[in-house]
Structure 1
Amino acid sequence: MEKVLITGSNGLLGKYLVQLYSQQKEIRCIACSRGANRLKQTEGYVYEPVDFTSEEAFQTLVRKHRPQVIIHAGAMTQADDCERNKEACWNTNVTATEQIVKIANEVGAFLVFLSTDFVFDGLSGPYREEDLVNPVNYYGASKVAAERVVMQTAKNWAIVRTVLVYGLADDPKRGNIITWVRDNLRSGKNIKVVTDQWRTPTYAGDLAEACRLIAGKRAGGIFHISGEEMLTPFEMAQQVAKYYSLDAGLMIPVDADSFTQPAMRPAKTGFIIEKAKAVLGYQPISFNEGIRLLEQL
């Protein structure tokens, strides 16, 4: 029976990965995250409370289970937090990745490393896998450094870059653009929504399935995984308002520079996903379908 170890299982992607793998009878899923298990689902997998930034603790975990696949979904991902605390960002995103690569090599595991569209500067999106990276904030820089660690030192690896992941987290404090727009408009509140940034938003279930396909096929190299539609946050919000028949007039279109944020954001990223379609058979849902799916969950 193949064993798959998932880091960051309490996170959004981690939740969807655990859901997906726990349904695979031929897979033994090992989930790990810092502290207690915060997933509502408790069946179908093993949970280990391990901080992946602790080299000794993580090595002990990997040697105990000896997984054939490690999906490294854990990271410090909030760009502003990374800008404010660069040391913590580097330790979590780069140093820990070096340690994970080392133990993955030792046990012969195929490593799937999660990365981001923020490795690009946003001047010429949407991007292909071979386009040159040029981050504009520290989070993106840390992910570029971690990608290089994986490419240069891992024996068997894939890098999965993704864009603006949305889904339903088990933690009620963690919202997403869909629930944020819906809940504010339902309350009759005005919201400011950005019109000059472009992304290809990614449903977390699609991203999890892409990771499963990559791991199952041992498909090495870099993969761009996202939705296909290039949308601004304002256009996303318009779709949410229309779906729920809410007053779109409450939404105020604004430029990104009207917000004061520690970290710069790339203006136009988004991905060209032809490689994922050809190699994996990846086919993402539309953003409107994503809204409908979140309503059902």
Structure 2
Amino acid sequence: MKTILVTGSNGLLGQKITSLILSSGRASLIATSKGQNRHPEKQGYTYIEMDLSNENDIAGVFRSVNPDVVINTAALTNVDVCETEREQCRLINTDAVKTLALLCGETGAHLIHLSTDFVFDGKEGPYREDAQPNPLSFYGRSKADAEDYLKSSSCRWTIIRTILVYGITGDMSRSNFVLWAKSSLEKNKNISVVNDQWRMPTLAEDLAEACLRVAEKGVTGILHISGGDMKSIHELVLEVADYWKLDKTLIEPVSSETLNQSAVRPERTGFILDRARQELNYHPRSFREGLKLLDLQMQSVKKM
């Protein structure tokens, strides 16, 4: 059984990987994140506080546990914040990856790094793994630079690119477009939603399972992992409203340029999932099935 170190374990994907390993017993888990452990279950694994902006901190933790696999889920993902706070963005999204790669190269550990569809410009989606990155934002650039470094590093690496991850954590501490839309509409708020950006949203549980399969099988190189449904953001939010029977007249479709956001978003991303299907037997749930799972999880949280 492999020892897996997860960075960013307090985030949505990090918590889902923790839950998956605890429920399946498929690995020995070292969970790391900044601050106190936010996962509801505290037993059955080791949690260590780790600051990814501090090289010495990373090295100290790494050498104390000597993992077989590192799954790097940690990132600064607010695209507009990354556009204005570039130093912090580069520190977490690029420099920390270099530190992890160097440590994995020294010890022979397998580094599984989470990247993004925002490395592409959105002009030719959906994309295969060998498509040429051309990021439009500093966030996308920081992730593309990390990818470039890994490709030339001596460590055993896998880059998992993903798209618009959604789900809920046990303490409901993490928001995403589904929870934002549902909450806003339940409060009868008018919301503006872009109708000129297309994505294939990814259920966090599906992504966590893919990460664990990569770790178990030792698959290397670039992998695209996302949901299978290509829709505009506006269509996705309409589907959220439909599922929970909320007022769709509150949803105003708008063009991207009207929002005056700091960072430019790609128009149409999406992934061709052939490699994941063939090598991981990856079959994502539909967006509707993902909403059904979220609904069940939210009901169980309310009962606690």
If the length of structure 2 is used for normalisation, what is the TM-score? 0.95
- Counterpart amino acid of residue 12 in structure 1: L
Distance verdict in 2 for CA 1:26–1:281, change over 3 Å = closer
Shift of residue 130, structure 1, vs aligned partner = 0.6
In structure 1, distance between residues paired with 2:171 and 2:224: 27
CA RMSD of aligned residues (A): 1.2
Distance verdict in 2 for CA 1:171–1:137, change over 3 Å = farther
In structure 2, distance between residues paired with 1:142 and 1:180: 26
Aligned counterparts, 1:80-159, within 5 A: 80-159=80-159
Q: Over residues 181-201 of structure 1, what are the superposed CA-to-partner deviations in whole Å (9 max), with x where a residue is unaligned?
A: 222222222111111000000
Shift of residue 169, structure 1, vs aligned partner = 2.9
In structure 1, distance between residues paired with 2:75 and 2:189: 33
- Counterpart amino acid of residue 21 in structure 1: I
Q: Over residues 189-248 of structure 1, what are the superposed CA-to-partner deviations in whole Å (9 max), with x where a residue is unaligned?
A: 211111100000000111111111111100011000000111111111111111111221
In structure 2, distance between residues paired with 1:151 and 1:165: 24
Preserved CA contact (<8 Å) 2:125 2:269: yes
Distance verdict in 2 for CA 1:154–1:19, change over 3 Å = farther
In structure 2, distance between residues paired with 1:140 and 1:175: 21
- Counterpart amino acid of residue 18 in structure 1: T
- Matched with 1:226 is 226
- Matched with 2:302 is none
SS of corresponding position for 1:153: coil
SS of corresponding position for 1:114: strand
- Matched with 1:75 is 75
Shift of residue 26, structure 1, vs aligned partner = 4.6
Calculate percent identity across the aligned residue pairs: 43
Preserved CA contact (<8 Å) 2:223 2:275: yes
Tell which deviates more after alignment, 224-233 or 184-193. 184-193
Shift of residue 154, structure 1, vs aligned partner = 3.6
Preserved CA contact (<8 Å) 1:23 1:44: no
- Matched with 1:266 is 266
Question: Is 1:196 aligned with 2:196?
Answer: yes
- Counterpart amino acid of residue 55 in structure 1: E
What 5-or-longer segments of structure 2 have no aligned partner?
A: 298-304
In structure 1, distance between residues paired with 2:14 and 2:279: 23
Aligned counterparts, 1:1-297, within 5 A: 1-170=1-170, 172-297=172-297
Q: Structure 1 stretches (4+) deviating beyond 4 angstroms?
A: none
Shift of residue 122, structure 1, vs aligned partner = 0.5
SS of corresponding position for 2:179: helix
